[in-house]
Structure 1
Amino acid sequence: MEELRANEKGESQLNLFYLALSFFTRLPVPSSMQYSEVLLNKANRYFSLVGIVIGLLLALAYFIFSSVLPTNIAILLTMGLSLLLTGAFHEDGLADMADGIGGAFAIERRLRIMKDSRIGTYGSVTLIMALLLKFTLLTELAKLMSPDSGYLLLSIVLAESLSRAVAGSLISSMPYVSDTDTSKSKPLAQAQSSSELTLLLLIGVVPLLFYSFNIIVSIAFVLIVFRSLFKRWLMVKIGGFTGDCLGAAQQIAQLLIYLTLLVCLNNLVIQGVAG
């Protein structure tokens, strides 16, 4: 009986993971997967695990691309694969949030603009700058990291998982706001239990444990400060968060992870030369 219950519990957790995977990626999931808004809400605990899966696929792709192509082309192809795997889901959120908050002053108007499928000037500029910055950061990281060390591959997995943990953690501390009941992110925006938040964060930080203590502290500090400031900014601008805001948080956190890694590694190189 206990073994049966354990199997059922394992299957239910696997189903939640499949739900998260199907929501955030274009990857195939079993047709036997069960769906409901309640289950999808519980699936937020596996956001960061979805990030690890995506990160591993991207790391493998970069490893293959870089073995036969120049670094910059390998990085560009890897970024393109990332957009295909996720359907540019988070990038779309970043652009929509930029359009909404940048294009109006009233909260209701901002929320309506975010729901508009068309992209405006603020969204276009923000998205272009974000993609260019990501490409540049990855290119510079590739220069600093030994091709045989695997650290660039690890940094891709880290950025994909930890950034989703940061974004997902906002659900537990902010109200969900939207101008429509048909929002596709609404099932994910209900209250998050402490156990779900803990699992989300624990999975997200696993790749970080392979780095030195100084890098761990630096990245943790940067992300904690970002989360606090971003949360406060959203409360002022729209009184809470939307699904687009979570996507934006993931993209910004990802860039901050790469940027912090680059700063830390640059300092190590400078110290090595000076020594």
Structure 2
Amino acid sequence: MTRHAGGQEAERVRRLDPRAEWRYLCAALGYFTRVPVPYGVGAAQGDLAGAIRYFPLIGALVGAFGALVYLLAWRVFPVSLAVLLSMAATLLVTGAFHEDGLADCCDAFGGGMAREDVLRIMRDPRIGAFGAIALVMALAIKWQALAALPPLVAAWVMVAAHAASRALAASLLVTLDYARAEGKAGAVVRRLSVRAYGLIAALGLPWLFWPNWRAGLAALAVAAVLRMLMSRYFQRRLGGYTGDCLGFAQQVFELAIYLVVLAWISS
């Protein structure tokens, strides 16, 4: 079934239908953010399955919104406060969608031993110590890294990191299977062919290479190592991935991009 789904996705990439692509884009915007979309547009299960291709584009829009808030706030407030307001804006527009995945994964992997325990804890809506600590640390690192960057560089890196981190997270769909037998995410995140993933990569990864392509290349190299480690870990613990795992991966990649760019500029 996974090969068949990947073949269907590849066929959709080869034959782009503007009306279908509009539905997929609306589905992606409605699923991955809190932005209102036209009622009923992109609501079908097939639309959700096609929405994953626009994952990085939604990230670029979220990053651009955060960058705009940051640049406006920077004119009035200290840089550190401007970054916090920008972070609050992106959390608001996404509903902390990926941060929730980060917290759920840390709770599950930190507190569960057997595969069944890990999956059960992931579904628990309550946050535990592991999740709370991970969430606080991730937000603090993001805050400090962006505040330490020159303002115009920080604004661009917000866009690049939000877009590229989502494209990198989606790469897990090429090599891993969905770990649950059921679940809403199963309709959205299906096994992808390399050809289908090419469009996702094209929408998300080029943002890294401007204005400093060397820093972008370094960030991509670090992300490739992190991707390999996460893929092996998810496969060993779960036999695949869940929607929370993708949120966890997106957050790790985003943080890694900020830190690599900061290290490159500071060196």
Unaligned stretches of 5+ residues in structure 2 = 1-15
- For 2:43 and 2:237, the matched residues in 1 are separated by 33
Q: Does 1:165 align with 2:167?
A: yes
The 2-side partners of 1:233 and 1:211 are apart by 34
Number of the residue aligned with 1:245: 245
- 1:196 aligned onto 2:196: yes
Distance 2:233 2:186 in 1: 21
Given that 1:172 and 1:197 are in contact with CA atoms closer than 8 Å, whether structure 2 keeps it comes out as yes
Amino acid at match of 1:240: G
TM-superposed CA distance for 1:207, in Å, is: 1.5
Match of 2:42 in 1: 34
Aligned to 2:57: 49
Between 28-37 and 256-265, the greater mean CA deviation after superposition: 28-37
Task: Output aligned runs, 1:90-129, within 5 Å.
Answer: 90-129=98-137
Helix, strand or coil at the partner of 1:34: coil
Q: Which amino acid aligns with 1:236?
A: R
Structure 1 unaligned blocks of 5 or more = 1-7, 268-275
Query: Which residue of 2 is the match for residue 58 of structure 1?
Result: 66
Aligned counterparts of 2:83 and 2:153: Cα–Cα separation in 1:
14
Alpha carbons of structure 1 residues 195 and 39: separation in structure 2 relative to 1, 3 Å? farther
**Range with greater deviation from structure 2 (203-212 or 126-135):** 203-212
Partner Cα distance (1:68, 1:184) in 2: 42
Picking from 19, 24, 31, the partner of 2:27 is 19
Equivalent positions of 1:119-268 (< 5 A) are 119-141=127-149, 145=150, 147=151, 150-178=152-180, 181=182, 183-267=183-267
The worse-fitting range, judged by mean Cα deviation, of 59-68 and 208-217 is 208-217
Which protein shows a greater Rg?
A: 1
Residues 209 and 215 of structure 2 are in contact (CA less than 8 Å); yes or no, is this contact kept in structure 1? Answer: no
Give me the identity figure in percent: 38
Q: TM-score, normalising length from structure 2?
A: 0.91
The runs of 4+ residues in structure 1 deviating greater than 6 Å are: none
Superposition TM-score, scaled by structure 1 size: 0.88
Partners of 1:17 and 1:239 in 2: CA distance: 30
CA RMSD, 1 decimal: 1.4
Q: Contact 1:44 / 1:196 at 8 angstroms: preserved in 2?
A: no
Q: Give the conservation status (yes or no) of the 8 Å contact 2:216–2:261.
A: no
Is the contact between residue 58 and residue 156 of structure 1 (CA under 8 Å) also seen in structure 2? yes
Amino acid at match of 1:239: G
**Residues 234-269 of structure 1 deviation map (CA, whole Å, 9 limit, x = unaligned):** 1112111000000000001000000000110011xx
Contact 2:161–2:208 (8 Å) recurs in 1 = no
Deviates more, 1:192-201 or 1:226-235: 192-201
Question: Equivalent residue for 2:13?
Answer: none
CA–CA separation in structure 2 for the residues paired with 1:236 and 1:185: 20
